[in-house]
Structure 1
């Protein structure tokens, strides 16, 4: 059993809030983590995709009030939007009876869906937490390259071999396209969405060119925006926004897009093993996306992530701003001898970060220029995670 780094945070929030929403893509390990916590206390688990469990909630207020002394875990809660009003009444009633915290653990695999439904009805009563697939700090150091190839979904990274892992990811993609996404709303042809998702994988880490994607798909720009919003809301794609300041410089305004899980990106591209990956044109940008996702996975809540690019050639892959408003500039290189380009130093002058790093596949940390350190991914993640303690 791999202990999830987020578990102590989740336990703390349950001790201090009546309801906690644990968000994350399907198969990231939300249910496993929730059941692990449930084993430590009186709890009941309801899967809202199960017909039997849906029937129990036919009179939700009555059923849930009978279990007021237990932690109630509601899985795939975005399937029952009408439930949030009931939860509000039960939480308020419980508060009057002295039951203030640890009442409900809500598991959801669609972020905005859940936030829109609960933000108004449960304001002040709920805390949100995102569980990503495994990151580098949760696995052994020697598994980093495997994690990059296969991605962080537990069933993929822990599979017996690369072929089994790839098959799992292909099935995961098919299930999302054919079952999960159609349940969320307007019908989107599965094959069209697969092509769009694959295009994003081919363009991993590049500036979003909606017109180009629309032309390739034979749809209009608004449709491309809708497809992208959907994949972002499902926590499958990241839209990384450009960093802006008031310097008056001409800065890029388009976001970059990344398929968030490197293993899913590789499956969409038909990359099944390390040798194929290292020889593929997407290799460097895939490593960049993998590093960025890991950095954001361990960063303190409410940290902000951007990239920086100006028309004059200044460029930085990740500008990470922590809750205390300190900023780190992070450049990503898939090279054993990482040397930043001039554009990174120009970006440093513009951003004025508190620290600057070049992440590379090695393990040694050393200075490559004044104020710039080359650093391995695991070492950088430990530094970022340490910001949680301040």
Structure 2
């Protein structure tokens, strides 16, 4: 088992900050494992309910009475999106516990669909709930577990895939994961959305990893309308499977690209969607560079301190920054990603940094040394840049 860094933040939120926490993330990312760890060590004791189990759902036939009887224990409810009617019950119970002197640690709610859960919970639990996103294993967590970054890149960060006994088992797990989402989750969250078409779109996005979102082009390939493609991408984003990285849009006197870039968030899923089962397969495929870029960007975005925002920057004249970090309304860090042991920043990277007046210019590459490059940039390894970002937080 890989220790997850989110554990300390989750424990703090429940024990010191709020009555309830909604833990969001894709299936099989480790939410249940983390929740069970928290529950096992909770001072007042805990009860765990999985709403996919008929037996646990029957325990909630009279949800108000059952949940009231659990006080002061922590109640963990997995797959909460299957019973949205519970949110109204939880509001009253939280207020009751507060009145009895229990301010924190009432409920831990787990779910996969961010937008639905956040909308439902905000309507009834305003001021009573915090939200935490749980992503697949990151590069820093893999390094702490003595796992090579290339293994993380190839297999992705879902624990069962990352820790599989061999590449074949890892690849099979990811294929089953993709099939399960298309056959089970899509009909549940979007019953009118054809799973086969969504699967084709998911594969197209993997082929175009890190490319600009061109809804008209994708719509033409799929034989659907551009608004339909937008809804499909919305769903994949809501399920934490795809990230839309928005373009920096401040007035800098340049003609800026306005379309978002789209990444399949887990590199292992990129490779499974493209049928790449080994590291040699990945290295020999045109997607290698953009797949590595996606892994680095996804990892770094997760490390940013609260209040920092992530963008990309591109002008029609060719100036470009893969990842632009904004703090306090101004850009403070520019990052380019190169899957090369001898990295060199593109001329457009220097022009973009000059446009925005960014002093911190980093080029992330697969090595571990830090050394100066042209255009005021420095080459650095991913783990080193993570350390710099977290030290600054």
Shorter-chain TM-score: which interval?
A: over 0.9
Cα distance in 2, alignment partners of residues 110 and 387 from structure 1: 31
Residue 100 of structure 1 is matched in structure 2 by: 103
The equivalent residue for 2:234 is: 229
> What is the RMSD computed on CA atoms of the aligned residues?
1.4
2:26 equivalent in structure 1: 25
Give the deviation of 1:357 after TM superposition.
0.4
Is the 8 Å Cα contact of residues 300 and 323 (structure 1) preserved in structure 2? Answer: no
Deviation at 1:370, TM superposition (A): 5.6
- Give 2:187's match in structure 1, choosing from 174, 182, 186: 182
- Which blocks of at least 5 consecutive residues in structure 1 are unaligned? none
Deviates more, 1:340-349 or 1:293-302: 293-302
- Structure-2 change in CA distance of 1:208 and 1:173 (3 Å): same
Structure 1 window deviating more from structure 2 (241-250 vs 161-170): it is 241-250
Q: Is the 8 A contact 2:350 2:375 kept in 1?
A: no
Counterpart CA distance in 1 for 2:155 and 2:101 is: 47
In the TM superposition, 1:195-344 aligns within 5 A as 195-322=200-327, 327-344=332-349
How many Å apart are 1:320 and its aligned residue?
1.8
Give the secondary structure class of the aligned counterpart of 2:61: coil
Structure 1 SS opposite 2:383: helix
Q: Which secondary structure state, in structure 1, belongs to the residue aligned with residue 148 of structure 2?
A: helix
Unaligned 5+ runs, structure 2: none
In the aligned structure 1, how far is the partner of 2:366 from the partner of 2:74?
43
Maintained 8 Å contact 2:48/2:76: yes
Residues 143-182 of structure 1: pairs in structure 2 closer than 5 A = 143-182=148-187
How far apart are residue 322 of structure 1 and its match?
A: 4.3
Task: After superposition, give the CA deviation of every residue in 1:81-111 in whole Å (9 maximum; x if it has no partner).
Answer: 1111111111111111111101001111111
SS in 1 for 2:246: strand
Q: CA deviation at 1:312?
A: 1.8
Q: Give the SS at the match of 1:145.
A: helix
**DSSP-derived class of the 2:216 partner:** helix
Contact 1:356 1:372 in 2 (8 A): yes
Q: Residue 361 of structure 2 aligns with which residue?
A: 356
Residues 142 and 2 of structure 1: is their aligned pair in 2 closer, same or farther, counting only changes over 3 Å?
A: closer
Instruction: Give the Cα–Cα distance (whole angstroms) in 2 for the partners of residues 202 and 283 of structure 1.
Output: 10
Q: Any runs of at least 4 consecutive aligned residues in structure 1 with deviations exceeding 4 A, and if so which? A: 322-326
**2:199 is matched with which residue?**
194
TM-score, length basis structure 1: 0.97
Count of residue pairs brought into register by the alignment: 388
Tell me if 1:117 matches 2:120.
yes
Measured in 2, the distance between the counterparts of 1:219 and 1:57 equals: 41
SS in 2 for 1:242: coil
2:7 pairs with 1:7: yes
Larger deviation, residues 68-77 vs 377-386: 377-386
